């Protein structure tokens, strides 16, 4: 499978390494708007073809899969262009920055019947499959609450038009919270959700830190926090009627060795080690490539389907609207 990358950012390099690590994938082409960055990227990763125009790469008949590594506000436009050319698409998270752009992008994907996946790479990793297995076992009882936070000092590196912490980092805890609720209660649990949020803005006037409190289902709550101007810290805990699950390893950057803690209240606590062959990008490249080879149009759970990405964007945009008020 020949991959083409749009953009030469840091994440493009991470994905280039992952593509080159898959023996059935080839990093065939890259497009960028800075000739110096494009040339340096091509040399570093031994890319066969370079383009100074994104659309020219997209129209190259030899490209099988387009990876969109551009800022969030540009995602929808190039999803549409790639879909019109019949290309399989892997788009970096977040899918977009509002629901209008999200709907335009997914409408094009459906109309042209192409493969599409949002780059929530951690969902491909064996750590998340182990989490889902624990949730499905019923060991912690019925779901009551989810407490999660993800902070990282990345504000100086991101494009202001990407709209800040919620779309750059908040998408991680929101998407994992969504997976837990979908697994334990079904996605219909969100139908009667109520949300409150408090935020502060950074120097670029985007939300740089925010806390969200959500109630859903009959007896369920979630507390989600994110910030992009300080620290590097992760937390994810699921509280049930009989016990709790805590992701001791960073669930959004899983590695070769990972750990989950399962506690049964006043009874026992155990550590579950989850080994892997590579990081989340390694698994993402392989599973996307295999899905495209098999003629599939989307991924399967626990990876994000089109509908999952749509629902996650709904939650993010609601969070933004409440946090901005």
Query: Does residue 196 register a pLDDT over 80?
Result: yes
Dump pLDDT digits (tens) for 115-156: 999 999 999 999 999 999 999 999 999 999 999 999 999 999
**Burial readout 111-144 (b: 16 or more C-beta within 10 A, e: otherwise):** ebebbbbbbbbbbbbbbbeebbebbeeeebeebb
Query: Does residue 46 register a pLDDT over 80?
Result: yes
Domains and CATH numbers, the chain: 2-119+284-298 (3.40.50.720), 123-279+308-324 (3.30.360.10)
Q: Minimal CA–CA distance to 123: which of 244, 306, 315, 254?
A: 254
Query: Does residue 192 register a pLDDT over 70?
Result: yes
Percent of the chain with pLDDT over 70: 99
Query: Does residue 217 register a pLDDT over 90?
Result: no
pTM as predicted = 0.97
Dump pLDDT digits (tens) for 251-279: 999 999 999 999 999 999 999 999 999 99
Strands 207-216 and 88-92: unpaired
pLDDT at position 325: 62
pLDDT at position 290: 98
Q: Across residues 211-222, what is the average pLDDT?
A: 95
Query: Does residue 22 register a pLDDT over 70?
Result: yes
Mean pLDDT over the full length of the chain: 97
């Amino acid at each position: 499978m020949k991959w083409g990358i749009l953009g030469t950012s840091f994440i493009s390099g991470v994905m280039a390494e992952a593509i080159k690590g898959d023996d059935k994938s080839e990093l065939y082409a890259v497009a960028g708007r800075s000739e110096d960055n494009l040339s340096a990227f091509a040399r570093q990763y031994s890319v066969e073809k370079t383009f100074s125009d994104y659309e020219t790469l997209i129209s190259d008949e030899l490209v099988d899969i387009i990876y969109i590594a551009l800022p969030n506000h540009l995602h929808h436009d190039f999803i549409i262009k790639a879909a019109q050319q019949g290309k399989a698409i892997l788009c970096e998270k977040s899918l977009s920055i509002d629901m209008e752009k999200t709907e335009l992008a997914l409408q094009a994907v459906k109309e042209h019947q192409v493969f599409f996946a949002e780059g929530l790479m951690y969902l491909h990793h064996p750590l998340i499959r182990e989490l889902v297995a624990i949730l499905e076992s019923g060991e912690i009882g019925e779901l009551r609450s989810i407490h999660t936070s993800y902070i990282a000092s990345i504000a100086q590196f991101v494009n202001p038009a990407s709209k800040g912490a919620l779309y750059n980092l908040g998408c991680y805890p929101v998407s994992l919270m969504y997976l837990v609720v979908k697994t334990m209660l079904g996605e219909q649990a969100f139908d009667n959700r109520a949300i409150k949020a408090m935020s502060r803005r950074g120097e670029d006037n985007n939300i740089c830190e925010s806390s969200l409190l959500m109630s859903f289902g009959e007896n369920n709550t979630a507390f989600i926090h994110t910030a992009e101007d300080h620290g590097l810290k992760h937390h994810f805990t699921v509280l049930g009627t009989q016990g709790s699950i805590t992701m001791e390893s960073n669930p959004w950057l899983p590695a070769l060795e990972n750990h989950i803690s399962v506690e049964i209240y006043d009874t026992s606590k155990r550590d579950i080690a989850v080994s892997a062959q590579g990081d989340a990008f390694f698994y993402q490249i392989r599973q996307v490539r295999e899905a495209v080879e098999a003629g599939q149009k989307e991924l399967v759970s626990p990876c994000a389907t089109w509908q999952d990405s749509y629902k996650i964007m709904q939650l993010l945009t609601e969070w933004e609207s409440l946090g901005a008020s």
